[in-house]
Amino acid sequence: MVIVNIVHILLTLLFLHNNICASTEHEEGGNDFIFHHIADDRKYTFFEVNFRGKEYKPTIYPPTILIKNYRFYIFSSKNFYDEDGNTKHYNGFYIGDDNKIKSEDGAFVIDISITKNVLAIFFSAILLIVIFYICGLWYLIFKSTRAPKGFVGAIECVFLYMLDDVIKPNVGSRYKEYTPYLMTLFFFILINNLLGLLPGAANVTGDISVTACLAFITFLYTNLNSNKHYWGHVFKPDVPKFLYPIMIPIEFISLFTKPFTLLIRLFANMTSGHIILLSIINLGFMFQSYFAGTCGIFINTFMIILKIVVAFLQAYIFTLLSAIYIGGATNEE
Nearest-10 crossing angle of helices 208-224, 175-195: 180
Q: DSSP assignment, residue 62?
A: P
Residue 205's alpha-carbon distances to 57, 149, 194, 299, in angstroms, are: 24, 30, 10, 23
Is the confidence at residue 8, as pLDDT, over 80? Answer: no
d(CA 43, CA 33): 16
Check residue 32 and give its pLDDT.
Answer: 55
Q: Tell me: the pLDDT tens digits for 122-169?
A: 899 999 999 989 888 888 888 767 777 888 888 989 999 999 999 999
The pLDDT of residue 239 = 80
Distance CA 332, CA 211 (A): 30
DSSP of 36-48: HHHS--SSEE---
Backbone angles phi, psi at 36, to 5 degrees: -65, -35
Q: What is the CA radius of gyration of the chain?
A: 23
The reported pTM is 0.80
Which tens digit of pLDDT belongs to each residue from 10-65?
544 544 444 444 433 333 444 555 555 667 778 877 766 666 666 767 778 888 88
Number of helical H runs and strand E runs in the chain: 10, 9
